[in-house]
A and B are shown apart, each in its own frame.
Chain A
Amino acid sequence: MSALPPVDPRPLRRRRRRAALAQTACVLVTVFMALPIVLVGLAAFSSPEALDEFPKSLVPSHFSTATLAAFFGGTGTIPAFGNSMLAGVYTVLASLALGGPAGYALARKAFRGRDAYQVFVLLVRALPIVVLSVPLATLFLRFGVYDTVFSVTLLHTALALPTTVLITASIFVSVPADLEEAAKVFGCGRFEAVRRVVLPLALPGLAASSIFTFVLSWNEVLGAAVITLGHRTLPAQVLAALAEAPQSYRFAGGFALVVPALLFILVMRRYLVNMWGTTLR
């Protein structure tokens, strides 16, 4: 019986070292991504006096909600919050109502001009909003809808529409056409088949796309700041207040704007890759 050749431990060691390295790199990136949010949270929960201390300790000397309370008690914050919610919800509804049918047509029908339409939609997406904001403000002034949630909704719908069309198209593609056919065979009309078979199956995807649209509207600041004056959305309100606001207002405002983002990621974790991956290809 011959002795086994000695085991070479090097590949295994190299492998372990690589795994440890990858793990460290992951932790470093996570710290980079999370630390600023933790810090602005700490700042938002510090009392104004603790914010004035220098050098600051990492854990604030006085935890307090005074800073956040001052932010939400500031003129216009609560109404702006409401405007943001309304603009977001209206934008979701309008872009689904206008973009959903287009997405369905792209997913189900082969027709002349299909590619042209898609190029048109992509082109629109590439236009910077800054070009549109100023003329739109003039247009809205002329038609007497300047400074309304309605005008913000119009602008945000136009911004979200291209993405909605492309995302809903990819959602409807993933609903098998056979099921729709089957429904028609069993006596459903065209619209009934869509309503009773296609829509329920597409619902999770449509919900994901809606949340995405809502975040787009919630985060948009330039257009909202240019086309409103008294009925601002929250980001536009914070932007306008920046010049004269104290530091504490800024940190509280930053934190208030970040919280919905955290909720969004929590809810949307599973959809993030698929949504961008399938639509941007």
Chain B
Amino acid sequence: MGAVRRFSGSPWLLLLPSIVLLVLLFGWPLAQGVLAAFRDGDGFTLAHWERLFGDPYFLRALRNTVLLIVIVVPVQLVLATGMALLTQARPRFLRTHFAIWCVPLAVSELAAGLVWLSIFTDRGYLNSLLVSLGLSENGVSWLGYQNTASMLFVVVVAEVWRATSLVFVILVAGVQVIPRDFDEAAQVFGASAWQRLWQVTIPLLTPSLRVALILRTILALQAFAVAQALTGRDFPLLVGETYQWYVNLQNPAVASAVALVVLVLSLGSAAFYLRAMRGQEAR
């Protein structure tokens, strides 16, 4: 009786269903994915990787993905910090502004791509504006397949629009727990607004900035539908390549290999951040 009682009170009974599902749906496929990328009918092989590296799209996808992260993540952190500080200035209609700033939070990647497509496509709203202002004769081919720079620009704009809200919400939560007294004390001692920002607010906001940085880097590595909706395969990204190899080229093995590259990059960047941050704290 006693044993039964202790058993029914065990928290593991409540945790078990979630553990089983996660192991089944994450652990098992993960192992299978690794195996698939290194195996064919006869056993161990590197053929899939040779095929992948021989594919001209792969290196472009890798480069584009890295470029996208390097540009988008810092822009988002700065923009979202600015937005979070603006909410502290208590402007008028704050509630309305806040709600609108959060809208992209619920907009899917694919929808975000399609939304910006209406602006950047050849006969879209931006070119219409440029032409009617007389700034351009026929508009700019923003998404032309040879225009890598402008494609990158468009994808960056769409990603910044879509995902800054997430950083913003994290930072707002962080800003709210900073006691107002600190800022007021600094003000009493004659610190300028700029000094207060760098000496008081930003240091107190670091934990939130950290979370946002890690989360956004990992999520940006998985970006795919934005570029797919805007450019098709003209601006390849790593996850988009997995989709191509699996759905259009019907090659699950190479698709798994690309997926592993994404996995390694995610784990690598997370480990890098955690290590760099721990080093900072020790000082």
Contact = CB atoms under 8 A, between A and B. Distances in A.
Given A36-B115, A251-B118, A155 B25 contact: yes
A102 B14 contact: yes
A113 B169 CA distance: 31
B92 A130 contact: no
A272 to B, nearest CB: 5
A218 B224 contact: no
Contacts of B36: 134-135, 138
A167 interface: no
A49 interface: no
A131 B31 CA distance: 10
A157 B224 contact: no
B32 A135 contact: yes
A12 interface: no
Interface stretch (B38-46, B49-57, B68-76, B259-267): B259-267
A254 interface: yes
B16 to A, nearest CB: 9
A25 B86 contact: yes
Nearest to A23: B91
Given A134-B259, A218-B108, A29 B169 contact: no
A261 B118 CA distance: 18
Given A126-B270, A250-B114, A134 B103 contact: no
A56 B170 CA distance: 38
B218 A105 contact: no
Interface stretch (B93-101, B145-153, B197-205, B275-283): B93-101
Interface string B241-269: 01100110000100110111011001100
Interface centre among B99, B115, B131 (most CB of A within 10 A): B115
A4 interface: no
Interface in A232-281: 235, 238-240, 242-243, 247, 250-251, 253-254, 257-258, 260-262, 264-266, 269, 272-274, 276-278, 280-281
Interface string B100-137: 11111111111101111111010111011101100000
Contact of A277 (B129, B161, B169): B169
A30 B80 CA distance: 13
Given A127-B263, A132-B30, 11 more contacts: A30-B101, A33-B103, A37-B115, A53-B123, A55-B127, A114-B11, A134-B252, A235-B111, A253-B114, A257-B111, A280-B215
Minimum-distance CB pairs A-B, first 9:
A277-B173, A254-B114, A219-B108, A261-B106, A257-B111, A135-B29, A55-B128, A135-B32, A158-B25
